[in-house]
Amino acid sequence: MSLKIHHLNCASLCPITGDMVCHCLLVEYTDGLILIDTGLGTKDITEKSKRLDLGFRLLVRPKLDIEETALYQIQKVGYKREDVKHIVLTHLHVDHAGGITDFPSAMIHALRLEYRNIYNKNKILPGYSKEQFNKEINWKIHDVMGEKWNGFNKVNILEGIDDILLIPLRGHTNGHCGIAINSTDGWVLHCGDAYFHSATIKKGLKETPFSINLFQKLVEYNSETRLRNQHRLRKLFLDKKSEIKLICSHDTSEYNACNCGKNPNFIYG
């Protein structure tokens, strides 16, 4: 099976390092839709002071446009919220998981280490918002079992389907992962926040803009692990660039290269 992917920008961010997107994916499969990350949700916009702490709003300066939410964009082209059967999260930071409450019937997938950042901590870590999560969320928590995909650990998300995988990429957060999808145009690896600028992968760490490197350090969980995974992703890009397309969450030029961004109210394949 190969899956059709649509690209969405589910929040525009304006930190001092330059404008960023929240690059999410909408995947068509036989039983419905799968959303890869959600960006900010409708309640993040209508209840911003409750769900988005002041530090986040000052650091990344989100535009908070209801028309950029995944729910708005999906409904704009004729789908219903109930059509989204699964949401797969690279991690649970506010700009990646805020929209899950817009899809109450969806099953929410995450790695166990990341899930614990919300539910096993007495004090919420920076970058997370407990207000974005509620007791009614239908969680499917995954553990790493040791099987491999191109040298990386992998976790099958859906039973019997090998075309969408969790790929652990710790560093930005303790339970951060990428999502590998066997699409109609070949494999796509959504790397989440494992890197923030395409130069990191295409040219090397030394070619990453200084401001981006500084921003990555400000928001990382573990520098050594993050850098090691960035080196591994660069090697994957060099070895498999004709077979696997790598994208991240926040690089605007990468998003535009996917033929996206021309109209925030329409889904582009």
Query: How much of the chain exceeds pLDDT 70, in percent?
Result: 94
Q: What is the pLDDT of residues 115-164, one digit of tens each?
A: 998 876 667 788 999 889 877 899 999 999 878 999 999 999 988 778 99
What pLDDT is stored for residue 264 in this prediction?
41
Query: Strands 177-183, 186-190: parallel, antiparallel or unpaired by DSSP?
Result: antiparallel
CB 192 within 8 A of CB 178: yes
Q: What's the per-residue H, E or C state across 49-84? A: HHHCCHHHHHHHCCCCCHHHCHHHHHHHCCCCHHHE
What pLDDT is stored for residue 218 in this prediction?
87
Which domains can be identified in the chain, with CATH numbers?
4-257 (3.60.15.10)
Q: What is the pLDDT of residues 21-63, one digit of tens each?
A: 999 999 998 889 999 999 999 999 999 999 999 989 999 999 9
Task: Name the DSSP letter for residue 45.
Answer: H
* Residue indicated by tokens 């992917």: 5
**pTM reported for the whole predicted model:** 0.93
Type and span of the H or E element at 228: helix 223-240
Nearest by Cα to 172 from 229, 214, 115, 211: 229
User: Is the CA virtual torsion 3, 44, 72, 194 positive or negative?
Assistant: negative
- Local structure of 7: helix, strand or coil: strand
What pLDDT is stored for residue 120 in this prediction?
66
Which backbone phi and psi does 13 adopt, to 5 degrees?
Answer: -115, 145
C-alpha span between 172 and 125 (Å, rounded): 13
What pLDDT is stored for residue 262 in this prediction?
47
The mean pLDDT value of the chain amounts to: 91
Query: How much of the chain exceeds pLDDT 90, in percent?
Result: 73
Q: What is the pLDDT of residues 167-190, one digit of tens each?
A: 999 999 999 999 999 998 899 999
